[in-house]
């Protein structure tokens, strides 16, 4: 069985690095755990770091977090669906919202549960995912203020997740101006101005963040140490908190070119044969016990740089080990570094064992 391994000490170092960045700048932050897909083994590792606030996009995952540590502040990071209102109020201390109708439902349910439910009002700032349009924000805010059992914890925005719009100093200044406008209009204080996710870390490191933006939601940087502006690893962080290991189940010298009438494979791709100088070449191919059911090949890369990924079917991955300096044999493990989307697939698969180093 293929498995994913979390390296505990690397996770701890990444957490310490980020916590120092935020604490030294008087910024509050929470860990985004949605990539862990509710895996209790890994959620316990996050809680053991001393995390006080965890964000997720599944109410069932927040339920697990509350069962592990009721004191952790849980945040639901997408606008709630109507059918999940009861669970959101029960298991999320805070939720992100963009619809008056939904907040009215949260208000009614919070009254039933005798709770005060906190919300973040998300503002559209160019990425075209969730968010209230800026010109409608003041009226929207005024309507929410009158609802019982609802506390507006703050305002926020989301960038880069859909259209790839990057957070800039100008974007965060604009978010700060919304805070000033609302506070002046309603004579209130807004505790949180949530400026985004891991993609904003380079701005924070450059001290280009407006001081009013005082809250962030961090997942990818914690687990992969990635600067999402450059694609490089942030200096002082680890990019391999998670690794994939898969076992070789066959090694055979085979032609590079298939033979027979060609059609679409299981993924809907068609192999094309070109008469090049490499036509007729063979390679030493290894088959691994993992496939498209569990991951997508474009999101993983072999630690052995001399290995090439050829392709995958539903349950098997084919690699070329012809040029590797290591003499692989059947039963050996091949290790892979992961991108964010690879970890998301793997951790959501019941067929991939989860381990801790």
Residues carrying an active site annotation: 34
- Asked if 141 contacts 181 with a C-beta cutoff of 8 angstroms, the reply is no
CA atoms within 13 A on the CB side of 7: 16
List C-alpha distances in Å: 263 to 132, 147, 259, 267, 317: 47, 59, 12, 11, 19
Angle at 162 between CA 140 and CA 73, to 5 degrees: 60
CA distance 55 to 94: 9
**Structure letter (DSSP) for residue 226:** B
Whose tokens are 């929410």? That residue is 144
Instruction: Please say whether the dihedral angle defined by the alpha carbons of residues 213, 216, 222 and 227, taken in this order, is positive or negative.
Output: negative
Q: Which residues, including other chains, have CB under 8 Å from residue 15's CB and lie 6 or more apart?
A: 49, 51, 222
d(C-alpha 278, C-alpha 239), whole Å: 36
CA pair distance 78, 60, nearest whole angstrom: 14
Within the chain, where are the H helices?
A: 8-24, 40-48, 59-68, 85-91, 100-112, 137-145, 169-186, 201-205, 220-224, 340-347
Rounded to 10 deg, the angle between the 59-68 and 40-48 helix axes is 60
CA nearest 28: which of 52, 56, 58, 61?
Answer: 52
């Amino acid at each position: 069985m293929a498995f994913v391994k979390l390296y505990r000490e690397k996770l701890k170092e990444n957490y310490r690095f980020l916590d120092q960045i935020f604490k030294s700048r008087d910024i509050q932050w929470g860990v985004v755990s949605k990539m862990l897909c509710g895996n209790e083994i890994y959620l316990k590792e996050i809680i053991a770091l001393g995390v006080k606030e965890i964000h997720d996009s599944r109410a069932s995952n927040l339920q697990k977090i509350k069962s592990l540590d009721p004191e952790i502040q849980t945040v639901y990071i997408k606008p709630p669906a109507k059918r999940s209102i009861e669970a959101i109020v029960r298991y999320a201390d805070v939720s992100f919202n963009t619809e008056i109708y939904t907040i009215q439902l949260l208000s009614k349910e919070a009254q039933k549960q005798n709770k005060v439910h906190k919300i973040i009002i998300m503002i559209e700032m160019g990425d075209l995912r969730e968010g209230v349009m800026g010109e409608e924000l003041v009226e929207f805010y005024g309507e929410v203020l009158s609802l019982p059992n609802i506390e507006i914890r703050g305002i926020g925005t989301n960038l880069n997740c859909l259209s790839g719009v990057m957070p800039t100093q100008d974007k965060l200044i604009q978010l700060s101006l919304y805070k000033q406008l609302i506070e002046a209009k309603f004579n209130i204080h807004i505790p949180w101005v949530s400026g985004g996710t891991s993609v904003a870390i380079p701005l924070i490191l450059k001290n280009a963040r407006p001081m009013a933006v005082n809250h962030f939601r961090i997942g990818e940087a914690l687990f992969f140490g990635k600067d999402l502006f450059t694609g490089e690893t942030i200096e002082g962080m680890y990019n391999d908190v998670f690794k994939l290991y898969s076992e070789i189940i066959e090694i055979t010298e085979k032609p590079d070119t298939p033979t027979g009438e060609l059609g679409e494979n299981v993924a809907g791709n068609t192999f094309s044969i070109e008469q090049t100088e490499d036509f007729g070449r063979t390679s030493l191919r290894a088959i691994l016990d993992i496939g498209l059911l569990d991951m997508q090949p474009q999101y993983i890369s072999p630690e052995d740089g001399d290995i090439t990924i050829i392709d995958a079917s539903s349950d098997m991955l084919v690699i070329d080990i012809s040029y590797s300096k290591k003499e692989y044999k059947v039963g050996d493990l091949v290790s892979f570094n992961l991108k964010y989307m690879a970890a998301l697939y793997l951790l959501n698969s019941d067929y991939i064992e989860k381990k801790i180093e």
